[in-house]
Amino acid sequence: MKIPSTLHTVLLSALLSVAGPLFAQSGPTPYPDPKDEAAWPGVGPIRVGSWMTDNRAYSWTQRQKDQGAVVFVGDSLVGGWKNHGAAFPGLKIANRGIGGDTSRGTLFRFQEDVLDLNPQAIVFCVGSNDLSAHADPEDVVANISTMVNMARTANPAVPIVICTIPPRNVPSAPTKPGAHQELNTRLTGLGIGKEKLVVLDLFTALATPEGAPDPKYIGKDGIHIIPAGFEKWAGLLRPVFDSLGVVPPAPAKK
C-alpha cells in the first residue's frame, strides 16, 4: 500500500525526532592518529596518551556545570592547580589542563573543551611540553594565536590572559638554547595593542634573580608548580581579572 506523501512526511519527522538524540555526540571527538599530521590542526609536536583521553572524557561530563566559567587551559601546569575556588572566591572556574599536552593538542580540543563552555574568560598556560619536544617557538605562538582568534570569533569581548612559560630545569628534557626566552618574548608580543588581552609574566614571578626555578614555587622536579607557586600565580591574576572586568556575578535579588 502506498503511503500518502503527507503521512510519509509526518512519519519521517516523528522518526527523526526520536532518532536525533540517539545520534547526538556522547563524548569528545577522539584524538586522531598521532602519525596522521594532516588530521591535526596547527603545527608542531603531537602527544597523545590514554590519560589525556580519560581526562577529556571526564571533562565532557562537566560541560553543563561549567557553562560560563573562567576556563584555564593548557598542560599539567594548569591541570595541577586544584584549589581554584579558594583562590578566586565567587568565580566559577573550569580547569581544562591536561598533563603532557602541547599547544597543538590544546588547539585540537579547544572548541569542545573551552569554547563550548561559553567562557566568561580564558587563561592560557601552554608551551612547556613544546619546549621539551624542541618545537619552534614561532609554531607554538601560531597555535596559541589561532586559539585566540577562535575565541574572538566566538565572542569578540571575551577576556583572555596568556601566561608566559614558567622557569624550568629538567636535565632529562632539556630545551634548545634560547628557545624558552624566545617563546616568552613572542608570547609577550601577542598582547601588544590587543584589547581585553593581557600577557602575564609568570616566568619572572616564579624564577630566582638568576632565572632558575625558584624552589619556593617550583617543585624538586624543576618544572611543576607547588602550592605556594599557585598562590603566587593567583595573586598576580586577581588584579588582572579586575582590570578585565572578570568579577563574580552579582547576588541574585530576593
Domains of the chain: 41-244 (3.40.50.1110)
68 dihedral zone (left: phi>0; alpha: psi -120 to 50; beta):
left
For residue 253, the model assigns a pLDDT of 67
Averaged pLDDT, 204-231? 98
Residue type, 93: I
| Residue 231, amino acid | E
Q: Taking 80 as the threshold, does the pLDDT of residue 2 lie above it?
A: no
Distance CA 211, CA 225 (A): 15
**Predicted confidence band at 249 (pLDDT cuts at 50, 70, 90)?**
confident
Instruction: Supply 88's cell numbers.
Output: 578566586
pLDDT of residue 7: 41
With cut-offs at 50, 70 and 90, classify the pLDDT of residue 25: confident
pLDDT in tens, 115-156: 999 999 999 999 999 999 999 999 999 999 999 999 999 999
**pLDDT score, position 250:** 73
- In the three-class reduction of DSSP (H, G, I as helix; E, B as strand; rest coil), residue 64 is classed as coil
CA distance 165 to 77: 9
